[in-house]
Amino acid sequence: MDLRVGGKYRIGRKIGSGSFGDIYMGKNLISGEEVAIKLENVKAKHPQLAFEARVYKALAGGLGIPFLRWYGQECDYNAMVIDLLGPSLEDLFNYCNRKFSLKTVLLLADQLLSRLEFIHARSFIHRDIKPDNFLMGVGRTGHLVHVIDFGLAKRYQDPRTNFHIEYRENKNLTGTARYASTLTHLGIEQSRRDDLESLGYVLIYFCRGALPWQGLKALTKRQKYDRILDKKLGTSVEALTRGLPVEFADYMTYVKSLRFTDKPDYIYLKKLFRDLYVRQRFTKDYLFDWSIYKFKLKHPGLTKGENDTQTDEQQQQQQQQQVQQAISQQKQQQLQQQDQQQPQQQAQPQPQLQQQAQQPQQQPQQQQSQPQQQLQRDSVQQGLNSDVHMYPMYPDQNNQMSKTPSTQQKPVRNISSPGLKMNIHSSAAKDADYSQFNNPSNETPKVNKWL
């Protein structure tokens, strides 16, 4: 039976379920493009699809926000058609044996913070932050994280007056208990701080493979929520982030210190993880763990089991060697040109009488040219050394380029590594979030331009 919505979208197989309704693969019968179709029974006790469609419209144009193609009612169902995306972070987490490397977690953290910053800037909070609601794109957007499932989203302020919602208590738990903030468990109205605390739990979950309050058993859902809350309250930030870089503890401490109406400092939070990324000397190649893992499965003989940090350091060393070799070749060419020009500058053969007459004058000149030539060699060699060490391959912790004093300073162009051109999706594409990481021009890199 050929089921259609919107007149041109044919419903295919079921591919998932959201907080309210099921999701199916669909196809645009006119263009042939594949889409995702979310259906909700019109007799649902708490219909949410119409509200979710309005949220997608309000967030339209944001990076990592699926495009709403159509919404309406077909027979006994409300239907919403959006972009078809790739696997969720939870699916990829399982694919990678339930552990992400620090590099992948930091790449995801920067994108996820940017997504929440945009959603909050449009006066919404998500209220159901979890790996299942973050999907990677497909094709050219395969490196981008997308946010879905806004069925539980809520306006936290009036977009016209910026008036914040009122503080309330005795609220029911909204969201997923595993990643919910402690204040949400306590029945306090959610705001921006709660989205960020949930994101912190997600990042720690990716680093550790599990959270301390997973696997707790109880007879009822209410009892299970209470046990999870007790475990969260009994787990300090220090214990939760033990063994992880200090930035994760700083992140959790900051978001837990926010008041109900406080606007989070997204720049500070992103800088925490960006500085850590630079300090770890990770390359910006968009090679997530699932891409590397897939490559190792396809080409086991080409991999030796090094971790991502070692691979990145080797790539950076190769880049530095290429820069040094290029500069060395250039300076050696200049030296050779000077050596070739020296005999050409000598006088042409003259009659014997003139040579004898000029011989006393030529000898001092020849004696004088030797120290000048040696001085030129020394200056070229000094310039060679200064150019090679002018800019280190890695910025320092303050995200600034430290320079070695030199009499003739010329910016050295960074030779970027092409990386591995393999993917589940197109991991070689560039994200607007990281457009400032590389400096393709010959200009000196500017301070505070990361990724």
Annotated binding site for ATP: 38
In the block, tokens 């001092």 appear at: 364
DSSP character string of 16-43? EE-SSSEEEEEEETTT--EEEEEEEETT
Cα–Cα distance for residue pair 100/290, rounded to 1 Å: 9
DSSP character string of 85-137? ---BHHHHHHHTTS---HHHHHHHHHHHHHHHHHHHHTTEE-S---GGGEEE-
Q: Whose CA is closest to 312, among 286, 273, 335? A: 286
**What is residue 390's three-state secondary structure?**
coil
Cα–Cα distance for residue pair 81/70, rounded to 1 Å: 5
List of residues 6+ apart from 329 with CB closer than 8 A: none
> Exposure string (b/e) for 195-209, b if CB count within 10 Å is 16 or more?
bbbbbbbbbbbbbbe
Q: Say which of 83, 110, 128, 312 is annotated catalytic.
A: 128
Cα 240 to chain centroid, rounded:
23
How many residues are listed for the chain in this entry? 451
Q: Sign of the C-alpha dihedral, residues 324, 330, 333, 338?
A: negative
Is 128 a residue of the active site? yes
Cα–Cα distance for residue pair 417/393, rounded to 1 Å: 13
Distances (CA, A) of 290 to 110, 205, 450: 18, 17, 24
Annotated binding site: 38
Distances (CA, A) of 119 to 58, 64, 276, 299, 341: 9, 10, 25, 40, 66
User: With contact defined as beta carbons under 8 Å apart, do 81 and 9 qualify?
Assistant: yes
List of residues 6+ apart from 278 with CB closer than 8 A: 394, 395, 397, 399, 450
Cα–Cα distance for residue pair 118/59, rounded to 1 Å: 8
Tokens of 96: 């990678």
Cα 260 to chain centroid, rounded:
28
**Catalytic residue list:** 128
